[in-house]
Amino acid sequence: NAGVTQTPKFQVLKTGQSMTLQCAQDMNHEYMSWYRQDPGMGLRLIHYSVGAGITDQGEVPNGYNVSRSTTEDFPLRLLSAAPSQTSVYFCASSRGQRAFFGQGTRLTVV
């Protein structure tokens, strides 16, 4: 069972570069979310999706874009990376009472 797969696991970007964090799930879940985790803090919701073609903003959406063209995939795009976006990013998919998390992407912006 693959569950929720995030790629890459690690990434270093220069300020101003763009990149896409990939997230795929094979559980046919309707709902998917992106969170960031910073040291000493809980996760913060960036964007979420309630189905293919439907996305919405979470607590900290600025600087990030998402799209949901298929049920399986929910990529997160950083348009112009900033040092403040250095963080660990988690993707989650859910249905009903449980959310399943990917292994995370550790992103450093220099």
Partner 1 sequence: ELKVEQNPLFLSMQEGKNYTIYCNYSTTSDRLYWYRQDPGKSLESLFVLLSNGAVKQEGRLMASLDTKARLSTLHITAAVHDLSATYFCAVDIGDSNYQLIWGAGTKLIIKP
Q: Find the part of the chain contacting partner 1 (CB under 8 A) among 17-25, 29-37, 63-71, 79-87.
A: 29-37
How far, in Å, CA of 9 to CA of 94, rounded?
21
Q: Please pick, from the candidates 17, 19, 31, 82, the single residue that binds partner 1 as defined by CB under 8 A.
A: 31
Contact 29/49 with Cβ under 8 angstroms? Answer: no
Q: What's the Cα-to-Cα distance from 46 to each of 2, 34, 36, 86, 90, rounded to whole Å? A: 23, 5, 7, 14, 10
Q: Is residue 71 a contact residue for partner 1 (CB under 8 A)?
A: no
Binding partner 1 (rule: CB under 8 A), the pick from 11, 27, 58, 63 is 58
Is 14 among the residues that bind partner 1 (CB under 8 A)?
A: no
Asked if 103 interacts with partner 1 (CB under 8 A), we say yes
Instruction: State the minimum distance, in angstroms, from the CB of residue 103 to partner 1.
Output: 5
Residue 93 parent element (H or E): strand 87-95
- Sorted by sequence, the CB contacts under 8 Å of residue 41 that are 6+ apart come out as none
Tell me which residues touch partner 1 (CB under 8 A). 30-33, 35, 40-45, 48-50, 58-59, 90, 92, 94-104
